[in-house]
């Protein structure tokens, strides 16, 4: 892997787990999401990982909402747009795969089933294989989400069976600290990094909750990129709830600059991931 000179900062602003009623500052409407995207791009994010919510602020995989969201964020920012295919733990595999119809630049692709708190986040191999091949066909770049060390082996199996993603790059994201997945510790993260297949061209990491900052620091120190956002962490510091996603992005950008690996521009992010140009000129 070529050492990264800059830092890809991904923002995951909403997620599917937190209720609006419990966290009114969570961006759940299209207007809030677009406003968040614009602020996060200005703060240094170049990739946005999106889950959409319906009019009642509940997680949704509605095709119209997804299309409208991709279109609006594409019009208002130049960030790489990644739609979640993970959805919520209650979404069916059949519905989750339809997310690609909204023509995002990128999609998440989780490399295995994981205990997710008291729930199960289901990703059987045939689903992963189907999603991977559909992403190749639609020229959408997958981001392989690795919640556990075994997911690295599942990624190896996918590449062996189906070759490289569209664009030829392989970008993975370690999601650490989920109750049931790999712990949010530097040791666990580095074990995952050391096991990555040679085909991987870049990796990022996020730590859920309290592991957010230690994982960000470990990733930066080890040549990785960063994912931050309210999907993963609702506290800026002890006793200080996050008010806006761009607070987390600004802090990540400061850390990256401090480590002499400044945030990538959106064009640099597109190069890193080899996404297809879908913006109209
Ligand atoms: N909401 C989690 C069950 C993804 O976006 O692909 C799954 C998730 C991963 O958030
Ligand atoms: Zn997600």
Provide the pLDDT for residue 3. 75
Pick the residue whose CA is nearest to atom 1 on ligand 1: 88
Q: Could you tell me if 12 and 250 are in contact, meaning their C-beta atoms sit under 8 angstroms apart?
A: no
The pair of structure tokens assigned to 118 is 């008291």
pTM for the predicted model, two decimal places: 0.98
Q: Is the distance from the beta carbon of residue 72 to the nearest atom of ligand 1 less than 6 Å?
A: no
* Cα atoms in the 13 Å half-sphere on the side-chain side of 122: 11
- The yes-or-no verdict on residue 281 having pLDDT over 90 is no
- Strand 119-121 to 114-116 pairing: antiparallel
256 to 1, 19, 64, 66: CA distances (angstroms): 19, 31, 36, 31
Provide the pLDDT for residue 194. 98
- Across the range 112-119, mean pLDDT stands at 97
Ligand 2 centre distance from Cα of residue 221 (Å): 24
The domain spans of the chain are 9-272
Q: Is the distance from the beta carbon of residue 85 to the nearest atom of ligand 1 less than 6 Å?
A: yes
CATH class of 9-272: alpha beta
Ligand 1 centre distance from Cα of residue 243 (Å): 22
- The yes-or-no verdict on residue 1 having pLDDT over 90 is no
Pick the atom of ligand 1 nearest to 109's CA: 6
pLDDT tens digits for range 131-150: 999 999 999 999 999 999 99
Q: How far is the first Cα of the chain from the last one, in angstroms, to the nearest whole number?
A: 33
pLDDT tens digits for range 80-102: 999 999 999 999 999 999 999 99
Rounded CA gap, 8 and 31, in Å? 25
Rounded CA gap, 227 and 238, in Å? 20
The pLDDT > 90 percentage for the chain reads 98
pLDDT tens digits for range 215-232: 999 999 999 999 999 999
The pair of structure tokens assigned to 61 is 């995989």
Q: Which residues have C-beta under 5 Å from ligand 2, the single-atom ion?
A: 84
Rounded CA gap, 92 and 122, in Å? 9
The pair of structure tokens assigned to 242 is 């996050």
- Number of residues that this document lists for the chain: 281
Q: Is the distance from the beta carbon of residue 204 to the nearest atom of ligand 1 less than 6 Å?
A: no
Provide the pLDDT for residue 171. 98
User: How confident is the prediction for the chain on average, in pLDDT?
Assistant: 98
């Amino acid at each position: 892997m070529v050492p990264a000179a800059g830092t890809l900062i991904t923002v995951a602003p909403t997620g599917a787990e937190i209720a609006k009623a419990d966290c009114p500052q969570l961006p759940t409407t299209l207007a809030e999401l677009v406003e968040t995207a614009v602020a996060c791009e200005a703060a240094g994010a170049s990739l946005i990982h999106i889950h959409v919510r319906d009019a009642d602020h509940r997680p949704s995989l509605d095709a119209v909402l997804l299309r409208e969201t991709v279109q609006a964020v594409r019009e208002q920012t130049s960030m790489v747009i990644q739609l979640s295919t993970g959805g919520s733990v209650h979404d069916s595999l059949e519905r989750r795969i339809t997310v690609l119809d909204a023509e995002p630049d990128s999609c998440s692709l989780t490399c295995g089933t994981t205990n997710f708190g008291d729930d199960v986040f289901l990703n059987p191999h045939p689903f992963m294989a189907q999603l991977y091949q559909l992403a190749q066909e639609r020229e959408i770049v997958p981001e392989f989400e690795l919640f556990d060390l075994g997911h690295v082996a599942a990624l190896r199996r996918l590449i062996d069976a189906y070759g490289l993603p569209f664009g030829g790059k392989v970008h993975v994201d370690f999601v650490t600290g989920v109750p049931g997945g790999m712990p949010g510790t530097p040791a666990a993260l580095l074990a995952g990094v050391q096991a990555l297949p040679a085909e991987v061209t870049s990796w990022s990491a996020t730590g859920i909750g309290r592991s957010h900052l230690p994982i960000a620091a470990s990733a930066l120190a080890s040549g990785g990129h960063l994912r931050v956002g309210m999907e993963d962490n609702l506290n800026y510091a002890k006793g200080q709830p996050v008010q806006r996603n761009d607070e987390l992005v600004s802090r990540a950008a400061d850390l990256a600059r401090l480590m002499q690996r400044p945030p990538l521009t959106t064009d640099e992010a597109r190069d890193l991931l080899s996404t297809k140009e879908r913006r109209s000129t």
